[in-house]
């Protein structure tokens, strides 16, 4: 066996060496000496470090400090000259020669186009704060959902709080949060509103993010920023591309739960003794257990449930596309497949995605161009029907039996308060399965017609069809005492077996018409005008039903049940009509001006308040194009400024109407009768939220575009925030209406720096960006809004700031306790000491103070990385992180022995005792004492982190080798995603806990993949 392994290893190494040898071999019939000099065509200065390479080989050199080079090349070979900031040149060798190469500057960087609202703009004349992500940069990385690709984008806070396959979608916030409603940005795919996470990442060309008044062209839905996704099109000769990767993933952080049953029981008893309570486990039970572990690990288990229930997951992805273009047409057709197994055991964390993409257009005549795009996604994923698996995991104990000898689910023969019905991870993961099937298609047809007088009419219609089916199974589940065999019903036999289905059918129709006019007057006055109209209609329809009375769990059809359990359903309709326009003017690409205006009418508001108007204006100055500006190292210097108004219609449908709800039964003469009533007051005058955005920026390119620097400062003020306003109970006991009450500001800056260069055959670069955002509530009409997890929103502080007692160390003795304020009858040495803010001798809710730290938005987001390449070998890295945010994990495992749950090992070593007065943690007690029930900053944790988001090593095979096997391009690569995480908080991954008050979440995962990308 050992010899066989060695043979296979030697054979593998021999093949690898052979490939490398063949790829670097250069067969020359006759080498010719080639010399020369490379200079700048505009300045005449010699260029040092220009790469000179024989095309199709790895042979090359570089120019010296005088721009001179020497190389030997066979007759007929092609020399390629390349240098950052200049256009590459290729020269065919026919004889020995001394070449004089004049390099032209590459102005393509400034001529690159960026997708903006209803069009594109040259990067050089762009006046808005727009960030563009080229998806080529993400090639080969294991991106399961498009939103996850935006980590590290300047001005964006991208947070993945759930890594479960099938639902691992990131939350995106652009320049802070400005409303108590929906803060998600508007996402458009090829101009049509659609979820970016219902796309195959491999079908995307680029993503543009509009962050300032550039989003005002979308008016009513641009207040939270706009994300524009552009899908790939066919380019050039017909090509077939196939890409594949496969890998594994594992959890980054897991709680360090106690897995020794004897240590657990003794520590639990010690916690109770510290509260002057009787032990849960007698010494006789502990002794019996310790002896039983030696011979019977079923009745006396020592289970580490995080090791039992979790293992490495699997991921694989295939993508196939064919694409081409000519002067008459272009097309790209693609299919994709993604398969993932999560890290949980059992069938309840699996996901599969199938995608279909089509992008085609044709010039029917010289004036008419038509096109069609289709993005189809079919996906399914599974999860436990009892969807609190991670909560149950946090409650597992080492004394919980996994399975009995005959395979039945076990519990524990030891009585444990709070565990009358044992939460059993294997029972949850294997016993009850929920499946979600989603089929979603976006189909868009478009037409472009060139009219006389330089007018162009564009028509686009998109239909977004979503069909979802949720199937839930709840079979009868039992656990069994491993000592007596007695059964305990985990769920009620009266409601199990039970099966349920929820059917969702949503349809969205989008119709856009625009008319464009572009003209250059007198050679330098560039003018463009666009006017347009949009119609958006959204319909939802869902239905659910469940049945019981099944003979067993073998049949899941609803008509196999005999007892009706529940039915429900709902349908909605929402319409938005818009008119918009934009004017752009620039003089000689030097003085830049843009103005836009949009009018929106929404059915979400009453007839008198449906229309709102959103203007914006932006200006720019290309200083580098001024005659007085002379600089040899500044290639571009552009100043930008903008101001605009944007809107948000994020209010529940029909909120302006007085709704009457069924199910409000009345008693007449002692008989209960069906009834209906208004339960919430409605305000018919509600209207749009309005955000006014200010932005100033500068773009600088230096040293032949080797260095790029962008700096933006901004402020956004959101006024008329739609929120519920409370009413006194005496007013009919009605819930308060949604009203326009509130004002919030977000201000900050963004800095982006890029560098790229080459030294001969070595290409290298680095990038970094940092964003700062200050969130502040300006006006709430004097109200205090209490949020989840001991948070509050009040004037002068960030939204959802922590509202907690202040801690002041630990009590060291009884004398300190007696002299301190009254904070509870159970207070004793080792307990947390709280600050008596009101100086009244009593610790209560009135002593809470606002912490100047948001629970939902970090103050800083940043990313950085580098790349280096040499003759086809490339290494890239990307780091990402956040700072200035706090987390407050509570309940199971965050606190010890919470209602019968376990504890972590730190409570055995780091708690206060008279012998450890400087301990990090207070006296060991159960979570029901005031140490934990009093919410204080003692438990507030630093949520900052820095993560190595991705590191990739790739190799692109040389053309000389690929041409022999008729392959156009072949690249192999290896990735590590989330490889390293640096954080002061170690109990769980900090990103997973942002905006949470517990640790019951699917863990963040590190992923290792290898794959290839081949083009024929």
Q: Which helix (H) or strand (E) holds 543?
A: strand 525-548
> Are the CB atoms for 900 and 395 separated by under 8 Å?
yes
Specify whether the CB–CB gap between 51 and 86 falls below 8 A: no
Cα(293)–Cα(384) distance, rounded to whole angstroms? 31
Exposed/middle/buried for residue 248 (C-beta within 10 Å: 0-12, 13-18, 19+) = middle
Report helix, strand or coil for 830.
coil
Other Cβ atoms within 10 Å of 239 Cβ, number: 16
SS3 assignment for 86-145:
ECCEEEECCCCEEEEEEECECCHHHHCEEEECCEEEEHHHCCCCEEEEEHHHHCCCCCCC
- Cβ contact 338:1009 at 8 Å: no
SS3 214: helix
**0.85 cut: is pTM over it?**
yes
Residue 373, strand partner residues = 359, 444
What's the CA gap between 951 and 984, in Å, rounded?
Answer: 23
Report the alpha-carbon distance of residue 28 to residue 70 in Å, rounded: 17
Q: Which of 383, 391, 387, 308 is nearest to 340 (CA)?
A: 383
Output phi, psi for 495, to 5 deg: -120, 10
| Rounded Cα gap, residues 508 and 206, in angstroms | 24
CB 79 within 8 A of CB 52: yes
**pLDDT at 213 (0 to 100):** 87
Q: What is the pLDDT of residue 692?
A: 95
Cα torsion 85, 87, 92, 93: sign? negative
Per-residue model confidence (pLDDT) at position 108: 55
* CATH class (in words) of the domain with range 31-103: mainly beta
3-state helix/strand/coil string of 439-499? EEEEEEEEEEEEECCCEEEEEEEEEEEEEEEEEEEECCCEEECCCCCCEEECCCCCCCCEE
Secondary structure (H, E, C), 548-602: ECCCCCCCCCHHHCCEEEEEEEEEEEEEEEEEEEEEEEEECCCEEEEEEEEEEEE
Cα–Cα distance for residue pair 631/701, rounded to 1 Å: 12
Distance from the first to the final alpha carbon of the chain: 40
- Cα separation of 782 and 146, whole Å? 41
Predicted pLDDT at 49: 76
SS3 833: strand
Q: Hey, CA dihedral for 162, 168, 174, 179, is it positive or negative? A: negative
- Which residue intervals of 692-826 are DSSP H helices? 814-819
Closest CA to 913 of 278, 286, 267: 267
Cα 706 to Cα 84, 85, 762, 767, 873: the distances in Å are 7, 7, 15, 11, 21
* Kind plus residue range of the DSSP H or E element containing 171: strand 171-174
**Tokens found for residue 737:** 């209406």
Alpha carbon distance 496, 385 (integer Å): 12
- Structure token pair of residue 406: 């005959």
- pLDDT for 18 equals 43
Cα(156)–Cα(770) distance, integer angstroms: 10
Residues 6+ apart with CB under 8 A from 728: none
72 neighbors 886 (Cβ within 8 angstroms)? no
Locus of tokens 């563009």 = 132
| HSE value, Cβ hemisphere, 13 Å, CA-based, for 791 | 21
| Number of alpha carbons in the 13 Å side-chain half-sphere of residue 685 | 4
Q: Can you tell me the distance from the alpha carbon of 919 to that of 927, in angstroms, rounded to the nearest whole number? A: 18
Beta bridge partners, 953, equal 875, 974
pLDDT, tens digit, 9 for 90 and up, residues 868-919: 999 899 999 999 999 999 999 988 999 999 999 999 999 999 999 999 999 9
Contact 683, 657 (CB under 8 A): no
Identify the pLDDT of residue 111.
60
User: Which residues lie below 8 Å from residue 839, measured CB to CB, with a gap of 6+?
Assistant: none
Helix (H) or strand (E) holding 427: helix 425-431
DSSP 628-696: T---SSEEEEEEEEEEEEEEE--S-TTTTS---EE---EEETTEEE--EE--B---TT---EEEEEEEE
Supply the pLDDT for residue 310.
95
Q: Which two tokens stand for residue 783?
A: 């109200």
pLDDT at 993: 85
CB atoms within 10 A of CB 110: 20
Contact 937, 803 (CB under 8 A): no
Cα torsion 405, 406, 411, 413: sign: negative
- Sign, CA dihedral 363-364-366-370, equals negative
Residues of the chain with pLDDT under 50: 1-29
Question: How far apart are alpha carbons 163 and 772 in whole angstroms?
Answer: 27
Give the DSSP H/E element, type plus range, for residue 962: helix 959-962
Look at strands 204-210 and 130-134 and give their pairing.
antiparallel
HEC per residue, 356-421: EEEEEEEECCCCEEEEEEEEEEEEEEEEECCCCHHHHHHCCCCCCCCECCCCCEECCCCCCCCCCC
d(CA 969, CA 974): 17
Do residues 994 and 159 touch, judged by C-beta distance below 8 A?
yes
Measure Cα distances from 279 to 267, 268, 275, 286, 837 in Å.
10, 8, 10, 11, 37
Asked whether the bond before 497 is cis by omega within 30 degrees of 0, the reply is yes
pLDDT score recorded for residue 575: 95
- pLDDT, residue 16, reads 39
pLDDT at site 789: 83
Q: Are strands 801-804 and 849-854 parallel, antiparallel or unpaired?
A: antiparallel
The helix/strand/coil state of 304 is coil
pLDDT at 628: 92
Encoded tokens for 167 = 């639902």
Domain limits, the chain: 31-103, 113-234, 807-843+892-938
Q: What is the pLDDT of residue 988?
A: 87
Looking at 296-347, list the stretches that DSSP marks H as alpha helix, in order from N- to C-terminal side.
Answer: 305-309
Q: Which CATH superfamily is domain 113-234 in?
A: TonB-dependent receptor, plug domain (2.170.130.10)
């Amino acid at each position: 066996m050992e010899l066989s392994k060695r043979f296979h290893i030697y054979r593998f190494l021999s093949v690898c060496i052979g490939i490398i040898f063949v790829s670097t071999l250069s067969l020359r019939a006759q080498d010719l000496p080639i010399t020369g000099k490379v200079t700048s065509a505009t300045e005449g200065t010699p260029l040092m470090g220009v790469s000179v390479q024989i095309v199709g080989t790895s042979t090359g050199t570089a120019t010296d400090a005088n721009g001179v080079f020497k190389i030997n090349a066979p007759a007929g070979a092609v020399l390629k000259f390349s240098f950052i900031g200049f256009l590459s040149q290729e020269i065919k060798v026919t004889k020995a020669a001394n070449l004089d190469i004049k390099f032209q500057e590459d102005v393509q960087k400034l001529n690159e186009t960026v997708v903006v609202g209803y069009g594109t703009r040259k990067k050089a004349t762009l006046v808005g704060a727009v960030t563009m992500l080229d998806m080529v940069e993400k090639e080969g990385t294991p991106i399961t959902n498009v939103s996850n690709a935006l980590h590290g984008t300047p001005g964006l806070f991208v947070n993945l709080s759930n890594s479960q396959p099938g639902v691992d979608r990131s939350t995106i916030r652009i320049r802070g949060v400005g409303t108590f409603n929906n803060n998600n940005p508007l996402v458009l795919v090829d101009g049509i509103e659609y979820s970016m996470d219902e796309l195959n990442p491999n079908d995307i060309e680029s993503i543009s993010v509009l962050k300032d008044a550039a989003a005002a062209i979308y008016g009513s839905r641009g207040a939270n920023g706009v994300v524009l996704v552009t899908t790939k099109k066919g380019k050039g000769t017909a090509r077939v591309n196939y890409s594949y990767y496969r890998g594994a993933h594992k959890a980054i952080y897991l709680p360090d739960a106690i897995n020794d049953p004897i240590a657990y029981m003794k520590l639990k008893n010690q916690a109770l003794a510290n509260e002057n309570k009787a032990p849960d486990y007698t010494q006789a039970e502990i002794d019996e257990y310790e002896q039983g572990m030696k011979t019977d690990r079923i009745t006396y288990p020592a289970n580490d449930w995080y090791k039992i229930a979790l293992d490495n997951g699997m991921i694989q992805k295939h993508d196939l596309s064919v694409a081409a273009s000519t002067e008459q047409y272009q097309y790209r057709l693609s299919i994709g497949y993604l398969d993932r197994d999560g890290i949980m055991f059992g069938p309840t964390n699996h996901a599969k995605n199938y995608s279909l993409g089509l992008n085609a257009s044709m010039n029917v005549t010289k004036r008419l161009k038509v096109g069609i795009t289709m993005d189809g996604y079919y996906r399914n994923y599974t999860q436990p029907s009892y969807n609190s698996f991670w909560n149950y995991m946090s409650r597992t104990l080492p004394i919980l039996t996994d399975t009995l000898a005959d395979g039945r689910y076990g519990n524990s023969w030891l009585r444990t308060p709070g565990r009358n019905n044992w939460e059993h991870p294997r029972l949850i993961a294997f016993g009850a399965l929920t499946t979600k099937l989603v089929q979603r298609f976006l189909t868009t047809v478009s037409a472009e017609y060139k009219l006389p007088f330089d007018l162009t009419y564009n028509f686009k219609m998109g239909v977004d069809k979503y069909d979802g089916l949720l199937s839930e199974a709840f079979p009868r589940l039992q656990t069994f005492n491993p000592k007596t065999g007695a059964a305990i019903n985990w769920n009620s036999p009266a409601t199990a077996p039970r099966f349920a289905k929820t059917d969702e059918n949503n349809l969205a129709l989008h119709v856009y018409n625009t008319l464009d006019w572009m003209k250059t007057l007198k050679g330098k006055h560039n003018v463009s005008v666009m006017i347009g109209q949009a119609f958006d209609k959204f319909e939802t329809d869902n239905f659910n039903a469940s049945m019981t009375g099944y003979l067993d769990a073998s049949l899941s059809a609803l008509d196999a049940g005999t007892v009706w359990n529940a039915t429900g359903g709902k349908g909605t309709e929402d319409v938005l009509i818009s008119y918009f326009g934009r004017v752009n003017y620039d003089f000689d690409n030097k003085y830049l001006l843009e103005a836009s205006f949009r009018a929106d009418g929404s059915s979400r508001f009453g007839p008198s308040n449906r229309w709102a108007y959103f203007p914006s204006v932006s200006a720019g100055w290309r200083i580098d194009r001024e005659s007085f500006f002379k600089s040899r190292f500044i290639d571009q210097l552009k100043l930008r400024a903008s101001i605009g108004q944007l809107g948000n219609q994020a209010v529940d449908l029909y909120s302006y109407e007085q709704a009457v709800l069924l199910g409000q039964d009345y008693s007449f003469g002692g008989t209960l009768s069906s009834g209906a009533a208004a339960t919430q007051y409605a305000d018919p005058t509600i209207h749009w939220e309005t955000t006014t955005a200010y932005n100033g920026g500068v773009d600088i390119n230096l040293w032949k575009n080797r260095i790029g620097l962008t700096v933006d400062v901004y402020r956004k003020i959101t006024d008329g925030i739609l929120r519920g306003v409370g009413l006194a109970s005496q007013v009919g006991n009605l819930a308060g209406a949604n009203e326009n009450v509130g004002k919030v500001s977000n201000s900050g800056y963004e800095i982006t720096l890029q560098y790229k260069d080459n030294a001969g055959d070595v290409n290298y670069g680095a990038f970094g960006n940092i964003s700062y955002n200050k969130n502040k509530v300006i006006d709430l009409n004097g109200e205090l809004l209490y949020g989840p997890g001991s948070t509050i929103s009040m004037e002068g502080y960030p939204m959802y700031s922590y509202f907690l007692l202040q801690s002041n160390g630990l009590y060291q003795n009884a004398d300190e306790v007696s002299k301190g304020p009254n904070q509870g009858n159970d207070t004793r040495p080792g307990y947390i000491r709280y600050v008596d803010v009101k100086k009244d001798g009593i610790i209560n809710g009135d002593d809470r103070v606002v912490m100047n730290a948001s629970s939902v938005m970090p103050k800083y987001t940043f990313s950085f990385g580098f790349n280096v390449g040499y003759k086809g070998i490339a290494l890239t890295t990307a780091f990402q992180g956040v700072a200035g945010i706090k987390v407050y994990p509570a309940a199971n495992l965050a606190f010890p022995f919470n209602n019968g749950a376990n504890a972590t090992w730190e409570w055995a070593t780091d708690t206060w005792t008279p012998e450890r007065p400087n301990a990090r943690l207070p006296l060991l007690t159960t979570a029901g004492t005031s140490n934990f029930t009093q919410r204080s900053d003692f438990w507030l944790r630093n949520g900052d982190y820095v993560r190595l988001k991705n590191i990739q090593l790739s190799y692109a095979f040389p053309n000389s080798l690929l041409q022999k096997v008729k392959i156009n391009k072949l690249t192999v690569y290896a990735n590590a995603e989330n490889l390293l995480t640096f954080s002061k908080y170690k109990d769980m991954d900090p990103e997973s806990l942002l905006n949470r008050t517990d640790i019951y979440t699917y863990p963040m995962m590190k992923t290792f993949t290898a794959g290839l990308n081949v083009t024929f």
